[in-house]
Amino acid sequence: MITQHADRLTGVLGIAVSSMYVYQASQIEDSLLADAVGVAGVPTAIGYLMLAASICLFLKSWLKTKQKAEASEEETEPGGSDHPHLKAVGLLAILAAFVAIVSVFGFVVSIGLFVAAVAYYAGARDVKTLLMCALITGPMLWLSFDFALEIHLPTGMWSQWIGK
Amino acid sequence: MDSFLLALSNLSSGWVILSAFAGVLWGIFGGALPGISPSIAMALLLPFTVGMEATNALVLLASVYVGAEYGGSIPAILIRTPGTNSASATVIDGNEMAKRGLAGEALGISLMSGLYGGLFGLLVLVLCTESLAQVALAFTPAAYFSLGILGLSVIAGLSGGSLLRGLIAACMGLMIAFIGSDPVSGVQRFTLGSEDLLDGVKPILVMVGLFAVTEMLVQIGEPPWARGGSSSTRLKLPNWAMSKRLFKPQAIGAVIGTVEGVTPGAGGTVAAFMAYTEAKRWSKHPEEFGKGSPEGVAAPESANNVVTATALVPLLSLGIPGSNSAAILLGGFLIHGLQPGPMLFQKAPEVVYGLYGGLFIANIAMLLIGLVILSPCMWLVNRPKPYLIAFILALVMAGVYAIHQSMFDCGLVLLIGFLGYGMRLVNLPVLPLVLGMVLGYMVESNYRRSLLISGGDHSIFVTDTVSAILLGLAAILSAYTLWKEIADRRKSVS
């Protein structure tokens, strides 16, 4: 992304986030134990500081005249995918789906499905290797955590059979 | 003397030795994989250290950093792809040596220079940290507040290239730090009604999300890692004549690495390139640089390994992490209920000296493992990237769940990973956010404590001498960063 555009976007998002933050801070009820600064004092100050910095960044990028040199400042978009940001959002969706299904299918099954899905999404096409990875990763992590580290991973719908 | 004996006793502790070797091994593998920086390799292990004894956990994490710096040089030399950013300078002459059939020699020089650098850095760490911490022991709450402000202004100014961007990132970190209980009254803030946020957002989750998840989101859209390189290459340690020739560039690397390491926000990459440039300037054979000069490998490798220890000086003495890797190590301290800073030497000296001892073992482990690790490393680098991404993310999810056995944490880490991706997209630096988050409590609690002492009078921050000096330094640094930004812009216009 061109630096100017990035700064402008950062400025706008910064203004929005800090405004919401200052509003949220104003909603905090003070405690009887609170000191002179108050519970919301420091967060409010930080909110205003970010608001001021965001406005400055926005104005700086807005007022700056486009320079010829910036033509060469175009971000070198990663060459692996035509839409790297879409790819990232897709991966995030797979991760979110994993978080959602763990309570139902349990960790071992979910992580197997997750590994296969991520590897396939990232470009792996060898079905045998994909299957092998999916089948190995779940039990391997389960053994490492449940037995070696004694941290019990969620069992989901299999809990009545496993007895946990 | 007691401290020395304490550190020495760790050298014979089986668990410390095991942690150091395991950390170095993991670090070399992580460092060898392009896209996996030392901080990511450390972040991946961070959740697994929760159940460990504090010294072993910290030795494990610090050893990853040591191993990763050497690991990064392996693909840099063999396939012209630096495994870590700080190995970028090694590519220049290391790969030229490999092209001339001297890959084994280049790797040997890298390993030995890393060892000397690491040991020198450790010496600096041991000599400087405690005395600096002794000075900081006399700090009042006002001075602590000002120290936090100084730390934030240094990182905000130096790590982002723009004061405004650094400031915004630092504010974001502070905002995250304020989620949860108020340090004075215990009132809940910014929890959005969620019970899972009552204790605030744990730094470990932010670090894993920002470093590991963000990097995988970036890597999925990038081309496959460069592959190739002969796994039959045999590492050759430099002989006596070569060692004598390499002494000067290694010393240059050691000095520059020390200065850059203790400076928050500078780090191994800057140190490596500066060391390369200076080694060329002081060399008897500057014409060989860029064409496969052994000195061109020795200087940057010595410098970036010095940084693995010297970057811990501000962390251990003042509680301020100066680099991403130091921030992850700070996370390691926090999850074991330890707060790095001057009081650490009073409260848990065994951990600090254990860490020193562990770092010494880690450097020896780097030499021993480095001699035999070449083939497995190249095998790993040549694995298809999709499976590595999938496995790393599986490890992240399992590790994050294990911390509090909560899927909410996994969701939170995804959200933070997405935030990190967005920050990378708009060129917002991550380190100020991490620093803001870990210093948030220190800044706010000491600010309010100071005002309680002074009866609400803000002049306490300038009447306290140490506080006034620290605030003055923060102001000078911020003004310098602004001036530099303006000067750079004028230069680019003209």
Residue B393 to residue A95, Cβ atoms within 8 A: yes
**pLDDT band with cut points at 50, 70 and 90 for residue B365:** very high
Same domain, A11 and A65: yes
Nearest-CA distance from B310 to chain A in Å?
Answer: 31
CB B61 within 8 A of CB B102: no
Q: By residue range, what is the domain housing residue A51?
A: 3-73
Helix B374-381 × helix B14-32 angle, to 10°: 50
CA B403 from centre of chain = 22
Residue B22's nearest CA partner among B59, B75, B51 is: B59
Among the partner-chain residues B182, B213, B385, the one whose CB lies closest to the CB of A122 is B385
* Helices and strands (H and E) in chain A: how many: 5, 0
Residue A100 in domain? yes
Q: How far apart are CA B11 and CA B482, in angstroms?
A: 47
Higher pLDDT, A138 or A147: A138
Same domain, A7 and A63: yes
- Looking at the predicted structure, is the pLDDT value of residue A40 above 60? yes
**pLDDT band with cut points at 50, 70 and 90 for residue A78:** very low
Same domain, A65 and A134: no
Q: How far apart are CA A119 and CA A124, in angstroms?
A: 5
Residue A36 to residue B175, Cβ atoms within 8 A: no
| Chain A: residue whose CA lies nearest to B388 | A119
Q: How far apart are CA B79 and CA B140, in angstroms?
A: 53
Q: What is the pLDDT, as a whole number, of residue B107?
A: 92
pLDDT tens digit sequence for B149-204: 888 887 777 666 688 898 999 999 999 999 998 877 788 899 888 888 988 898 88
Nearest-CA distance from A158 to chain B in Å?
Answer: 17
Q: By residue range, what is the domain housing residue B251?
A: 2-493
Residue A103 in domain? yes
- Looking at the predicted structure, is the pLDDT value of residue A18 above 60? yes
CA B110 from centre of chain = 20
Mean pLDDT of chain B: 87
Q: What is the pLDDT, as a whole number, of residue A70?
A: 52
Nearest-CA distance from B218 to chain A in Å?
Answer: 7
Stated as kind and residue range, the H or E segment containing B128 is helix B103-137
pLDDT tens digit sequence for A88-107: 999 999 999 999 999 889 99
CB B372 within 8 A of CB A114: no
Residue B461 φ then ψ, to 5°:
-75, -20
- Structure tokens, B325: 């890797």
Q: How far apart are CA B207 and CA B213, in angstroms?
A: 9
How would DSSP label each residue in A94-128? HHHHHHHHHHHHHHHHHHHHHHHHHHHHTT---HH
Residue B390 to residue A6, Cβ atoms within 8 A: no
Average the pLDDT over B357-380 and give the result. 89
> With pLDDT > 90 as the criterion, what percentage of chain A qualifies?
49
* Secondary structure class of A32 (helix, strand, coil): coil
Nearest-CA distance from A54 to chain B in Å?
Answer: 7
Which one of B168, B191, B415, B448 makes the best mutation probe of the A interface by having the most chain A beta carbons within 10 Å? B168
Residue A109 in domain? yes
Same domain, A94 and A115: yes
pLDDT tens digit sequence for B227-242: 665 556 778 899 999 9
- Looking at the predicted structure, is the pLDDT value of residue B35 above 80? no
Q: What is the pLDDT, as a whole number, of residue B159?
A: 64
- Structure tokens, A86: 């879409």
Counting the structural domains of chain B, the total is 1
Residue B329 φ then ψ, to 5°:
-65, -35
pLDDT tens digit sequence for B81-90: 788 878 888 9
C-alpha distances (whole Å) from B67 to each of A97, B48, B84, B138, B463 are 35, 18, 11, 36, 46
Average the pLDDT over B463-492 and give the result. 86
Same domain, A100 and A67: no
Residue B181 φ then ψ, to 5°:
-80, 140
Rg (CA), chain B: 22
Contacts of A119 in chain B (CB under 8 A): 386-387, 389-390
Residue B223 to residue A80, Cβ atoms within 8 A: yes
Which one of B178, B188, B453 makes the best mutation probe of the A interface by having the most chain A beta carbons within 10 Å? B178
Contacts of A123 in chain B (CB under 8 A): 224, 384-386
Q: Which residues contact B167 (CB under 8 A, 6 or more apart)?
A: A49, A50, A53, B156, B432
pLDDT tens digit sequence for B244-275: 999 999 999 999 999 888 877 666 787 898 89
Residue B204 φ then ψ, to 5°:
-60, -40
pLDDT tens digit sequence for B403-422: 888 899 999 999 999 999 99
Contacts of B224 in chain A (CB under 8 A): 80, 123
| CA atoms within a 13 Å half-sphere pointing along the CA-CB vector of B302 | 29
| Chain A: residue whose CA lies nearest to B393 | A115
Q: Which of A73, A93, A128 is the last residue of a domain?
A: A73
Q: Do the interacting molecules here have an ipTM over 0.85?
A: yes
Same domain, A89 and A155: yes
Q: What is the pLDDT, as a whole number, of residue A33?
A: 65
Residue A48 in domain? yes
Stated as kind and residue range, the H or E segment containing B188 is strand B188-189
Q: How far apart are CA B19 and CA B61, in angstroms?
A: 9
Give the distance between the most distant pair of CA atoms in chain A.
68
| Chain B: residue whose CA lies nearest to A130 | B387
Considering only residues 103 to 142 of chain A, which have any Cβ-Cβ distance to chain B shorter than 8 Å?
103, 107, 111, 114-116, 118-124, 129, 133, 137, 141
- Looking at the predicted structure, is the pLDDT value of residue B19 above 80? yes
Q: What is the pLDDT, as a whole number, of residue A75?
A: 46
| Chain A: residue whose CA lies nearest to B222 | A80
Q: Can you give B375-407 as a three-state secondary structure string?
A: HHHHHHHCCCHHHHHHHHHHHHHHHHHHHHCCH
Residue A37 to residue B448, Cβ atoms within 8 A: yes
Residue B171 to residue A53, Cβ atoms within 8 A: yes
Residue B23's nearest CA partner among B299, B472, B328 is: B328
Among the partner-chain residues B224, B397, B451, the one whose CB lies closest to the CB of A37 is B451
Q: What is the pLDDT, as a whole number, of residue A77?
A: 46
Stated as kind and residue range, the H or E segment containing B1 is none
CB A151 within 8 A of CB B434: no
- Structure tokens, A6: 């990035």
Q: How far apart are CA B457 and CA B214, in angstroms?
A: 43
Among the partner-chain residues B390, B418, B492, the one whose CB lies closest to the CB of A122 is B390
Q: Which of A1-15, A144-158, B397-411 has the lowest mean pLDDT?
A: A144-158
Counting the structural domains of chain A, the total is 2
Q: Position A56: which residue type?
A: C
Q: How far apart are CA B286 and CA B411, in angstroms?
A: 53
Where helices occur in B178-289 by DSSP H, the ranges are 203-207, 214-219, 240-262, 268-282
Q: In this complex, is the C-beta atom of A52 within 8 Å of any C-beta atom belonging to chain B?
A: no
Q: Which of A48, A73, A98 is the last residue of a domain?
A: A73
Q: How far apart are CA B409 and CA A99, in angstroms?
A: 10
Residue B6's nearest CA partner among B468, B345, B451 is: B345
CB B185 within 8 A of CB A31: yes
- Looking at the predicted structure, is the pLDDT value of residue A76 above 80? no
Q: Give the best-scoring range by mean pLDDT among A102-106, B297-301, B481-485.
A: B297-301
Q: What is the pLDDT, as a whole number, of residue B480?
A: 84
Q: What is the pLDDT, as a whole number, of residue B399?
A: 87
Q: How far apart are CA A114 and CA B391, in angstroms?
A: 10
Contacts of A8 in chain B (CB under 8 A): none
Q: Which of A47, A73, A99 is the last residue of a domain?
A: A73
Residue B390 to residue A96, Cβ atoms within 8 A: no
Q: What is the pLDDT, as a whole number, of residue B4?
A: 64
Considering only residues 88 to 107 of chain A, which have any Cβ-Cβ distance to chain B shorter than 8 Å?
88, 90-92, 95-96, 98-99, 102-103, 107
Which one of A32, A75, A92, A147 makes the best mutation probe of the B interface by having the most chain B beta carbons within 10 Å? A92
Same domain, A110 and A151: yes
Which one of A95, A107, A115, A132 makes the best mutation probe of the B interface by having the most chain B beta carbons within 10 Å? A95
Q: What is the pLDDT, as a whole number, of residue B434?
A: 87
Considering only residues 62 to 81 of chain A, which have any Cβ-Cβ distance to chain B shorter than 8 Å?
67, 69, 78-81
CB B54 within 8 A of CB B46: no
Q: How far apart are CA B353 and CA B350, in angstroms?
A: 5
Q: In this complex, is the C-beta atom of A55 within 8 Å of any C-beta atom belonging to chain B?
A: no
Q: Give the best-scoring range by mean pLDDT among B141-155, B182-196, B359-373.
A: B359-373
Q: Position A124: which residue type?
A: A
CB B362 within 8 A of CB B61: no
Q: In terms of C-beta density within 10 A (0-12 exposed, 13-18 middle, 19 or more buried), how is residue A148 classed?
A: exposed
pLDDT tens digit sequence for B435-445: 888 888 888 98
* Secondary structure class of B221 (helix, strand, coil): coil
Contacts of A4 in chain B (CB under 8 A): none
Residue B427 to residue A121, Cβ atoms within 8 A: no
Residue A78 in domain? no
Residue B358's nearest CA partner among B128, B140, B112, B65 is: B65
Q: What is the pLDDT, as a whole number, of residue B226?
A: 63
Residue A79 in domain? no
Among the partner-chain residues A10, A21, A99, the one whose CB lies closest to the CB of B426 is A10
Q: What is the pLDDT, as a whole number, of residue A24?
A: 93
Nearest-CA distance from B290 to chain A in Å?
Answer: 25
